[in-house]
Amino acid sequence: MEVKVNKKSKSCTEDELLCLSKEELIDKIKQLEAHNTQLKSIVQKNLQSRDETANGKAKKKHRPFDFAKCFKRHILLRFYYLGWDYQGFAAQEDSIETIEHHMFAALKKVCLIESRETSNYNRCGRTDKGVSAFHQVISLDVRSKFAPELQLDANNLTNELDYCAMLNRVLPEEIRCLAWMPMVNPAYSARFDCRSRTYRYFFPRGDLNITAMEESARYLVGAHDFRNLCKMDVGNGVVSFVRSIDAISIKPSQRDSELDGSSYDMMYLELRGKAFLWHQVRCIMAVLLLVGQGREEPSVVKDLLDVEQNPCKPQYSMASDVPLNLYDCQFNEKSGESNGEETMGGESDLSDWIYKEEDLRRTISDLQGLWMKHSVKTTMVREMLKTLHSILEDRFAGAPPIRDQSALLTQGVRSKEYCPLLQRQRCESLENRIEHYAKKRRIEVSVKSNDCSASGSDEPAAEHVRAGTDRNSNVDHGVSGMDN
């Protein structure tokens, strides 16, 4: 299918408003009220920032940086971030609390780029609100000390601008650059030339049946239609939900034998694939948790992947965003390989990541500081739990142990009586959603002939919906959407 997304106009004429139904007007009012609340919050933050500036030292006026006198080089930049307190990776019009906003603010502050629009920028993947990344990669053009013909010289690589140190001095403590890679090909893209992305979802063992979860997870390997295991984003042009998971496994991360056997051990689900749908990993994890709790049979995943028998997604809550991490990314040796394009032979477009010991040591020290803060809190809670466990055992002999750690990862209200997934109320079908957004003029659906008469095929002509937004493109190629 091919989807064309019609961008919403910022304002409607009186005639357009008169054509809207009562329900559409109510939806529009709700959207405007929500947007107004967000704008008030941003204005309040800006006013507070101005007050702090006015009360502090006066800012010095600097001459504009003359980028016309500078050389540029194309690089890959690797960094990590803890996204728990951010509104996601991608920049947003109504929020400054995104990873991308802070990254571009830092790039411009240290004069590595003039603007996002002129930086030849691409991101490996986008993560949603609350999601973190250990191996996020972007590609862009940055300022260089050396002319293009001298940039790959070994000595010049050693003496190049210390990109990571420059950025880390002005980035928030939850965001740190780790390394950069010099690129020969200016067309190499962190997004289109990424061949695989690996996500990890961390969770406590609790009372979960890990063996049953592993059995259920094996059904996910390979190419499937994941419409029942993601959040469908038809309004942004996504109408194909076939994706491929190359590998999936559940592994132990950290053991804690001091508390109630192994129920406090930390585990993680690891998935590797080229592209993920919006909230795909969190939906998969939600279903696997139900299997681990014994509420669903391992075969429920197989049933959900059978979209002919189950074309509509049953209603269920996603797993929490906090434990999700974009853990690793692997890239093509030559640009264009992931799109099936023919590439010329010869040396790889990739080189080694450039790390500096001083920068790496400082980053480790900064991360140890964050670990200290969170570990101290964890230790305090753990000591409280040890005391309460002992009181429960002493005062109420024979009482069953409490192992609700993993159950609390699922969002939403838990009902007293559990209803199996396949017996629950269903969401709208994909076809109904396409029709809905087409009526609202959010997307345009066209039908193109497959030349059946020429080929002799009895297959009907295919629907084509053309995608035209950056958000859709990034969901299709990463994360996250995912996921994110």
Residues 466 and 448: their CA atoms lie apart, in Å, by 12
Residues 320 and 338: their CA atoms lie apart, in Å, by 31
From the list 85, 128, 141, 470, the catalytic residue is 128
CA 294-298-301 angle, 5° bins: 120
Residues 7 and 17: their CA atoms lie apart, in Å, by 17
Cα distances (Å, whole numbers) of residue 205 to 208, 292, 385: 6, 9, 16
> Tokens 């066209």 map to which residue?
446
Residues 112 and 121: their CA atoms lie apart, in Å, by 13
Backbone angles phi, psi at 253, to 5 degrees: -110, -45
Known catalytic residue: 128? yes
**Which residues fall within 8 angstroms of residue 138, CB to CB, at 6 or more apart?**
76, 77, 79, 103, 121, 122, 123, 124, 190
User: Does the CA dihedral 111-116-120-125 come out positive or negative?
Assistant: positive
The residue count of the chain comes to: 484
**159's tokens:** 């003496």
**Which residues fall within 8 angstroms of residue 350, CB to CB, at 6 or more apart?**
181, 331, 333
**Which residues fall within 8 angstroms of residue 237, CB to CB, at 6 or more apart?**
3, 4, 5, 443, 465, 466, 467, 468, 469, 472
Provide the annotated active-site residues: 128
